[in-house]
Structure 1
């Protein structure tokens, strides 16, 4: 079978397409290189101030190299906001066990690992602007967690009893979620010591919250 033949016009088009691909690949490599440099630089800063800020780093996950670079640092806080992270690994709770603040907002998370309960000193957790449908049960089990920001997700399922039994929760922001009427009413009625921030809802005439 003979190889296909191309005229000069075809060759020019192929050459142009290859050139465009090469430029695109070079740009991707350059952007990836900048992202890596940014992450390493942020880790070096955290080694001095104990606050790890990896926000806006184009991360799809927490690189293993981060845990290695921070292995001798007792962190106070960790900011992973404004990335495209879809999953938090269980080992984060082990490697960053001393943090008091964790910001996971503006990512693509829908679940949290149960191992976060091991964050014995965590007081503030931000999971707002993600893809949660269910309020993660682990958020009501973290021993010292006082403030939880879960606003602007797609949460429709909440265990109110878990909130009432949480060891330390003082405040939960649930605004901007599609919480069902009955659950909305229960959250307003009695959540013990926990203050709940909710988006006000208009009760339609046909609704009967007692059903």
Structure 2
């Protein structure tokens, strides 16, 4: 019985490896790397090796079980304009992501963030930030207000503190902040 279960596990892992390699091959032609739903716990080093001669424009790592992005990600994929990290298990982002000088769209929704990572406000061309459906309770609004490129920040479905919610609601910024309606649970 153990041998059968182990054999099934190995076969399943081999299938995932083949899927990742196939998607890397596609990305070499399209410049769009889609590693969504690959059951990844991290970005395999082989991906960096396979993509070393490809200038990626987009990267989709959604719907995996990734807990963190390594700092080298920004070095290896420095030209991407769209990064989807949604539906993972992340709670922080490395500061090196600020080096993604072309990044326009970042989706970190449906993760485990408690605070909005400060690095998102250091990304020089970031226009759209999706951070909805996390556990975010606080945001450094002073940092956010200094961002020149942002157009929309989606903060819906986060348990923001009342003071943070009010600061965001009343913020004088040149971009749209999407918030859920405040529900006062003090009764």
Q: TM-score, normalised by structure 1?
A: 0.86
Tell me the matched-pair count: 187
User: Residues 1-211 of structure 1 correspond to what in structure 2 (within 5 A)?
Assistant: 20-203=1-184
- From the superposition, tell whether residues 65 and 191 of structure 1 become closer, same or farther in structure 2 (CA, over 3 Å): farther
Q: CA deviation at 1:194?
A: 2.1
Q: Point out where structure 2 has 5 or more consecutive residues left out of the alignment.
A: none
Q: CA deviation at 1:86?
A: 0.5
Q: Point out where structure 1 has 5 or more consecutive residues left out of the alignment.
A: 1-19, 207-211
**CA offsets per residue over residues 12-47 of structure 1, 9 Å max, x none?**
xxxxxxxx1111100100000000000000000000
**CA offsets per residue over residues 176-203 of structure 1, 9 Å max, x none?**
1000111101101014112110110134
- From the superposition, tell whether residues 58 and 191 of structure 1 become closer, same or farther in structure 2 (CA, over 3 Å): farther
Q: 1:90–1:114: 8 Å Cα contact kept in structure 2? A: yes
Q: CA deviation at 1:205?
A: 7.7
**Pairwise CA RMSD:** 1.1
Distance 2:158 2:179 in 1: 8
Runs of 4+ aligned structure 1 residues displaced above 6 Å come to: none
Distance 2:150 2:118 in 1: 13
